[in-house]
Every structure is written in structure tokens, then in C-alpha cells.
Amino acid sequence: MKLLRYGPTGQEKPGCLDDEGRVRDLSGHVADIVGDVLLPDSMTRLKDLDVATLPLVDGTPQDDLRLGPCVGGTGKFVCIGLNYADHAAESGLDVPPEPVIFNKWTSAIIGPDDDVVIPRGSKKTDWEVELGIVIGKGGAYIDEAKAMDHIAGFCVINDVSEREFQIERAGTWDKGKGCDTFGPTGPWLVTPDEVGDYNALGMWLEVDGTRHQNGSTATMVFKVPHLVSYCSQFMSFQPGDIISTGTPPGVGMGLTPQTYLKGGETMRLGIDGLGVQTQKVRTAQ
């Protein structure tokens, strides 16, 4: 099942995608794609619905029908750094012995096609296509063997990053990762049964039609179940929390010469089976 949220910013309604790529309204069954709706029993009830009988929503998704972030009410937006060996190499860094954890503030979360805004004072705003994990059943100290039981689904994330803020301005990475609009999420939350082999998903990102990232989740150093289990040793998860799992090579920082967003560009990115995002880039006023 592909769950989504549609409508104006802050007024999104719950929906799903039918077999013909049209949006069907879920408001008669759930108030939003949030919280307890993501628990296994609730997700099973949604998957048992006859999607073809649900009300059809006017408009074409990601055209004249805006999609919001595919999950609402996210409490934690946890990210993993240097989780692709080839990306670590282009960054001039060793593969870490354990996952590197940092955070994006939840105020960074936007819809998959909303504008990305370069913050004031930015010199090095960059892009990163990433596989996102959406937590369904929460918990702490999750057994790796049972980690998949805690996942409601997967989605596309653009881990937009300001490299000077992140690396050159002292302190943690967080200040360069959580600026407003730095977390496009969606277009839909795809349940694990539809994703297939999450360890072999092609992923890519283009800026103004030039492809910079062209990788696969197959080269992740720390795999999905391990990341869920590992992170849960340091925090408890709640439904709707997101883990962004790292990026393959081809980020602007790794190019020769280094290339960063200035405003006016269009980013387009996607992951096999999880959909495509498109963001226009503009500068903060």
C-alpha cells in the first residue's frame, strides 16, 4: 500500500494511491497518517480496504494536487551519516565502526515537491537522496531480528545539508542539517510488502537535469534492521518517527570542483518503487 497526505500545507488529509496512480481519500477511516494509525493492527486494517471503493480525490498527485509529507506528527527525525562506503570515500573520511547518528529538526520536514529554501548566510547548501524508514510500532532496545516488525514503511528523503554550517562552524552536524525545508519527505509511505528487497533499491538525484547521484541501497554499510536496533539503544521510538539511512556518492561536496546550490535550480530525485520528488530551490528572504 502507498499511503500519502494531500492538500494545502498544514491542512493535509489522509489518502492512498490506487493502481492507476490516482489519490483515494482515507478520511472516512483515519484522521491522518500519524501516530497509532501506523501500528501494525491499524496498518493491516488499511491494507484490507478495497481501495477502488474509496472516494476519488480530484487532481493529479504531484501536479495540480499537492502532496504533503507522507507521515504526520513525527517526533524524531534521526539520520545516519557516512553509511555508504563510497560516499565516505568522496568525503575523505573512513567508514565508521558504528553508525553515526545526528538529527534533523522536525521543522525541516516538508512535502516532496515543496520549495527548498537556502538559509541566510549559506555558502554550501548540498543535496542527498536517502532511503527513509518510518517507524510503526515503537519501542526501545529493539532486537535486530525483530526490527522489521517495528517498520510501517519506507519513503524517499532529500537530506538537504549546509556543509559550512555542518562541518566548519564548530559543534555537531545538526546545525547544518535541520534548517527549515531541509527534509523533503515522500511522496508516499510504501509498506514493506510492496517495497520488496529494500537492500537492492536503485536511487538517484539530478540537479537541473544533470544526474549526480546514481547508487543503490546495496552499498549501505549498516543495513535497515541493524539501524533500527542500534538507534533504539539510545532512544525510544514512537510511531511516526523517521530514520534517514545515508546517501550514496555524488553529493556536491564530493564533486570536482565542489558544487553547491545557489538558488534557481530544480532538484529531482527518486528511489525504485518509492516514487520521485521534485524541488525548486530558492534563497531565503
Q: Which residues of the chain have pLDDT under 70?
A: none
Q: What is the pLDDT of residue 87?
A: 78
Q: What is the pLDDT of residue 108?
A: 98
For 72-283, give the CATH class. Answer: alpha beta
Give the integer Cα–Cα distance in Å for 37 and 47.
12
Q: What is the pLDDT of residue 171?
A: 83
Q: What is the pLDDT of residue 40?
A: 97
The domains of the chain are located at 72-283
Give the integer Cα–Cα distance in Å for 86 and 92.
10
Residue 62: alpha-carbon gap to chain centroid: 16
Q: What is the pLDDT of residue 94?
A: 82
Q: What is the pLDDT of residue 90?
A: 79
- Return all residues near 87 (Cβ < 8 A) that are at least 6 apart: 246, 247, 248, 249, 251, 254
CA torsion, points 199, 200, 201, 206, in degrees to nearest 10? 110
Quickly count: other Cβ atoms within 10 Å of residue 195's Cβ. Answer: 18
Residue with cell 471503493: 53
Dihedral sign computed on CA atoms, order 104, 106, 108, 114: positive
Q: What is the pLDDT of residue 268?
A: 98
